Amino acid sequence: MRKTQDALIPTLSMLFLISGACALIYQVAWQRILFASFGADLESVTIVVAAFMLGLGSGALAGGWLADRYSSRTLLLFALAEGGVGTFGVISPKLLRWAGEATIHTSLPTIAAVNFALVLLPTLLMGATLPILVADLARRWTNIGKATGALYASNTLGATIGALLVGFVLFYWLTLDMAIYLAALGNFSVAAGVSVLLFRYPNDNRSAP
């Protein structure tokens, strides 16, 4: 079991780093699409950022509940969440632009409601990933503080990398849609990586160390 833990923990941390990078790419890219439709004034910025943060916070609460309820399926839940984010990422450019065109001449409350609705599902899934993985690593390490610190550090480093990629690389060499698709590919890769771990260690996620 110790060898299994030694193999899983660094791998999960690396996958979560990739997940964090993808999340920041989405945030910046989705904001640009929405700002193109609704404008980049103070109200629009506030609406988009607030919607994103609400989804992440609510997702963290939901993820904690799911991790407690399905503690033997945490890696599967994480893979499903990443796959869901990637799926939304694939359809998001057309969806966000369509919603912007449909509501551009409506009232500010309507625009706010649309923004919240559009980013709610993917940000819920993003927010759920941290408590789900914390629950998994805490089960392996029996140390909630160590598990939380390791994953938060990995995800924060990934977010930093994602922000740097968006600002200095991706938007110079790729279109906005291509950057989003690249992030979706990252989510699918993370989901696939976790699926490989589940296949390789089929019993590990069902029993405590």
pLDDT, tens digit (0-9, with 9 covering 90-100), for 174-197 = 999 999 999 999 999 999 999 998
Whether residue 10 is contained in a domain is answered as yes
Torsion of CA 9, 11, 12, 13, to 10 degrees: 80
Q: Please name the residues in contact with 106: beta carbons below 8 A apart, sequence gap of 6 or more.
A: none
pLDDT in tens, 62-76: 999 998 898 888 999
Domain that holds residue 178: 2-202
Residue found under tokens 């690593």: 137
| Spatial distance between the Cα atoms of 80 and 87, rounded to a whole number of angstroms | 10
Q: What is the DSSP letter of 201?
A: S
Whether residue 143 is contained in a domain is answered as yes
| pLDDT category of residue 5 using cuts at 50, 70 and 90 | low
Whether residue 192 is contained in a domain is answered as yes
- Write the CATH number for 181: 1.20.1250.20
pLDDT in tens, 18-57: 999 999 999 899 888 888 877 766 777 787 788 888 888 9
Whether residue 209 is contained in a domain is answered as no
The helix-helix angle for 2-38 and 144-165 (nearest 10°) equals 40
